Amino acid sequence: MIMEGTGKYFLIIIFIFFIVYLTVKICMYKIFKNMGLPGWKALVPFYNRLVLTEKLDFNRKIFFKTLIPFVNLYYYSIIISKMLEAHNLDPKQGPLYVLIPMYKFPEFVFRHPTFTLHLYDETEEFITNQQALFEKHPEDETPQTVEEPIPQTILEPEEPQKPNLYVAENIYSNQNLEPDKRMETYVEAKPVEQAPEPETPIIKTVTGRPKVCPNCGAHLSPDATTCFLCGTKLP
């Protein structure tokens, strides 16, 4: 009877540990996805710790120390504390994730924190590049120029000479010097009208100023309508 009671308690303890293990694995899967890592890596024992140490910029020696029995709990709490700090949470609660994981890991997941370990560095580098891109130098500034349309020139046709189209018949038969009474005809050429050339549009080169986000202060391009960092709509 004693053995039967002990076996039941042993099975209950095993079942509780299995529920805790399964809950932690599901939560770690969601945490890895939130950190930009493949979720399946959280389900592989020991390998998930290696991935966390590399993602949180730890030395690989920390991972090997997590393989030592009993000592691994201390270093595992250090990794959890660094993970909390990377999500802008209290790193002092790291040991609680080792003592009561059934409660702390679901609490972490339901908070939906943002992983910001390398986000600040990348944002600062991007903003610096944008400021250098839109920074004005006096030697690089070009004055505003307006192209004037090309004046149209119409060539006036030269006045044609009046041709003398006398019809000479029997010139040598007329022996006297009387004036010839035949009709004088000539053809006057009409001026050729030249088709007007299309007007060249006026192109104005205007140098705009970069916009600044009123919410986060990021420098944006002159034609930007929405801030790429915080999503604030610009006027």
pLDDT of 172 > 50? The answer is no
Higher pLDDT, 79 or 2: 79
pLDDT of 91 > 80? The answer is yes
* pLDDT recorded at residue 230: 82
The residue to which tokens 């088709």 are assigned: 195
Mean pLDDT value across the chain: 75
Distance CA 218, CA 127 (A): 6
Distance CA 13, CA 21 (A): 12
For residue 101, give both structure tokens: 């994981």
Higher pLDDT, 216 or 143: 216
* pLDDT recorded at residue 205: 46
Tens digit of each residue's pLDDT (9 = 90 or more) over 102-144: 889 999 988 888 888 766 555 555 556 666 666 655 555 565 6
Asked if 130 and 113 touch (Cβ cutoff 8 Å), the reply is no
* pLDDT recorded at residue 29: 92
Asked if 20 and 102 touch (Cβ cutoff 8 Å), the reply is yes
Tens digit of each residue's pLDDT (9 = 90 or more) over 148-166: 666 666 666 666 665 555 5
Higher pLDDT, 95 or 177: 95
> What phi and psi, each to the nearest 5 degrees, are found at residue 129?
-65, -40
pLDDT of 79 > 60? The answer is yes
Predicted TM-score (pTM) above 0.85: no
> What phi and psi, each to the nearest 5 degrees, are found at residue 226?
-140, 140
* pLDDT recorded at residue 119: 62
